[in-house]
């Protein structure tokens, strides 16, 4: 009885299928074939992802974002709470005086004129008393930051989701800007050695972000380094004298230029994307193929950039970046693809890193030029005269791969990098998005 029922059931479905149009039958077969092909591709891609994760682990020492997050140091070695408390004190002083920060008053005459209700933009001498007064109010916080330079671990970051990272980075900029103002005012008061100590404090604070495994943190770190380096340039223009470069300053410059930290950040960013989005994609089987394609291409891009940074000349590295970015654009056809955005972020980060290296090199060269002038009474005609007495070797421009460009001008000098356009613009500074050079101009 049961056997007859099954037979009749099969016959019923066969008759129904025979009545279907031939096109519908072929569509059904095609749908089944598409599903089978998708499942095969899914397995192939997933095996490639697993294999690539092994390569990633061997190359960078981690796979998931947790592998790249810095371990919290013991409380007695953690500078993070000190920075956060110092920022509280400094913010209180800013609110008391109703200024955004002291650095703005020094570098933005128009804003300073509006703040002090002056008819004309004030000269530096007119703003300094107000800045000095404000810095005195935040002295306790600044002293805490200087004491934290004895600690090599810990940062202002307390979490890695945007609601933690972005406010902390904004606060870090406020703190760094006031440290830069402290360095400049100290130089104006005639204490150049202490002024460069504050430059070192600013660099140390910027370098406290070196272990944070997200590109946004490293972009801000470069901005903080730029504030300290710009303060140093202003200090050199305040006085014709300058102290010899200290070991602590040289160490912080070396850390700021350290390539391996930057490469570790790129790996951490890829792992963060995988942790943030890959789990969601792989949890939905129909999207796992997309997640695999995203992960493979992001990792390939990172491998190419890492090899280029470690082994290629600057021009070759730029070519690798351009080719990888162009390849990434083809992934725009995939829905929800994060490859183009990831590649654009990495490309921008490499450019910013190179500018950071150039700024640090220019500071070190400027101090060596001052030391040469102190010994010989005049600046050298060419940079090669700095070696080996004042520098062991001349650094190379990270954009061109050649020596930095230099000339004496009046009683001072102009020192510059060609920047990303690789054109010698004669020492013309960048303005907004306009191309130019990365320039150090010392008047005396």
Percent of the chain past pLDDT 90, that is, above it, reads: 17
* Mean pLDDT of the chain, nearest integer: 80
Q: What is the pLDDT of residues 138-154, one digit of tens each?
A: 888 899 999 888 887 78
Highest mean pLDDT among 21-30, 359-368, 424-433: 359-368
Helix (H, G, I), strand (E, B) or coil at 77: helix
| Weakest mean pLDDT among 274-283, 335-344, 370-379 | 274-283
Rg (CA), the chain: 29
Residue 80 to residue 316: CA distance in whole angstroms: 39
Angle, in degrees to the nearest 10, between helices 215-238 and 259-273: 150
Q: Confidence band (pLDDT; 50, 70, 90) for 97?
A: low
Do the beta carbons of residue 298 and residue 267 sit within 8 Å? no
Among residues 140, 347, 352, the alpha carbon closest in space to that of 225 is found at 352
User: What confidence score (pLDDT) does residue 351 get?
Assistant: 84
Q: Mean pLDDT throughout 59-79? A: 82
- Identify the residue with better confidence: 60 or 8: 60
User: What confidence score (pLDDT) does residue 337 get?
Assistant: 66
User: What confidence score (pLDDT) does residue 432 get?
Assistant: 54
Q: 152: which DSSP letter?
A: -
User: What confidence score (pLDDT) does residue 280 get?
Assistant: 47
Q: Mean pLDDT throughout 414-430? A: 82
Q: Confidence band (pLDDT; 50, 70, 90) for 380?
A: very high
Q: Confidence band (pLDDT; 50, 70, 90) for 7?
A: low
Q: What is the pLDDT of residues 202-260, one digit of tens each?
A: 999 999 998 888 888 888 999 999 999 988 988 888 877 777 888 999 999 999 998 88
Q: Mean pLDDT throughout 315-344? A: 72
User: What confidence score (pLDDT) does residue 339 get?
Assistant: 72
User: What confidence score (pLDDT) does residue 9 get?
Assistant: 64
Angle, in degrees to the nearest 10, between helices 288-311 and 259-273: 180
Residue 253 to residue 314: CA distance in whole angstroms: 20
Distances (CA, A) of 364 to 88, 236, 360, 393: 33, 12, 6, 11
User: What confidence score (pLDDT) does residue 426 get?
Assistant: 80
| Angle made by CA atoms 170, 172, 175, in degrees to the nearest 5 | 115
Q: What is the pLDDT of residues 263-294, one digit of tens each?
A: 888 888 878 777 766 554 555 556 677 777 77
User: What confidence score (pLDDT) does residue 123 get?
Assistant: 46
Contacts of 48-56 with C-beta under 8 Å, sequence gap 24+, read 48/292, 48/296, 49/292, 49/295, 49/296, 52/295, 52/296, 52/299, 55/303, 56/267, 56/270, 56/299
| Weakest mean pLDDT among 144-153, 169-178, 295-304, 400-409 | 295-304
Distances (CA, A) of 130 to 44, 97, 114: 67, 9, 13
User: What confidence score (pLDDT) does residue 106 get?
Assistant: 67
Break the chain into its structural domains and give their ranges: 62-230
User: What confidence score (pLDDT) does residue 77 get?
Assistant: 82
User: What confidence score (pLDDT) does residue 122 get?
Assistant: 46
């Amino acid at each position: 009885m049961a056997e007859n029922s099954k037979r009749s059931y099969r016959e019923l479905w066969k008759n129904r299928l025979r009545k279907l149009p031939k096109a519908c039958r072929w569509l059904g077969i095609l749908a089944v074939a598409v599903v089978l092909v998708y499942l095969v591709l899914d397995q192939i891609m997933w095996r490639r992802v697993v294999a690539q994760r092994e390569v990633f682990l061997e190359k960078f020492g981690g796979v998931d974002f947790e592998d790249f997050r810095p371990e919290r140091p013991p409380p007695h070695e953690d500078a993070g709470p000190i920075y956060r408390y110092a920022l509280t004190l400094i913010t209180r002083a800013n609110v008391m005086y109703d200024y955004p920060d002291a650095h703005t008053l020094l570098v933005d005459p128009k804003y300073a004129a509006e703040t002090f209700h002056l008819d004309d933009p004030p000269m530096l001498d007119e703003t300094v008393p107000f800045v000095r007064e404000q810095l005195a109010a935040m002295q306790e916080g600044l002293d805490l930051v200087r004491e934290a330079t004895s600690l090599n671990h810990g940062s202002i970051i307390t979490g890695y989701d945007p609601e933690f990272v972005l406010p902390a980075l904004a606060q870090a900029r406020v703190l760094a800007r006031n440290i830069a103002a402290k360095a400049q005012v100290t130089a104006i008061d005639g204490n150049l050695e202490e002024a460069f100590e504050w430059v070192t404090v600013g660099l140390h604070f910027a370098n406290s972000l070196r272990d944070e495994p997200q590109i946004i943190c490293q972009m801000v770190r470069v901005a903080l380094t730029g504030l300290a380096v710009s303060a140093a340039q202003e200090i050199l223009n305040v006085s014709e004298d300058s102290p010899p470069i200290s070991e602590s300053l040289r160490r912080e410059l070396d850390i700021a230029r350290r390539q391996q930290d930057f490469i570790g950040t790129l790996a951490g960013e890829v792992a963060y994307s995988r942790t943030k989005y890959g789990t969601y994609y792989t949890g939905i089987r129909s999207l796992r193929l997309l997640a695999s394609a995203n992960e493979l291409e992001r990792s390939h891009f990172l491998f190419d950039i890492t090899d280029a940074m470690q082994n290629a000349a600057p021009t070759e590295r730029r070519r690798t970046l351009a080719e990888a970015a162009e390849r990434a654009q083809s992934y725009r056809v995939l829905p929800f693809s994060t490859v183009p955005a990831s590649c654009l972020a990495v490309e921008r980060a490499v450019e910013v890193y190179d500018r950071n290296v150039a700024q640090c090199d220019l500071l070190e060269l400027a101090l060596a030029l001052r030391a040469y002038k102190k010994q010989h009474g005049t600046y050298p005609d060419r940079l090669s005269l700095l070696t080996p007495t004042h520098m062991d070797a001349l650094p190379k421009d990270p954009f061109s791969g050649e020596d930095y460009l230099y000339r004496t001008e009046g009683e001072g000098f102009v020192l510059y990098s060609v920047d990303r356009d690789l054109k010698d613009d004669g020492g013309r500074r960048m303005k907004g998005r306009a191309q130019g050079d990365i320039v150090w101009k010392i008047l005396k």
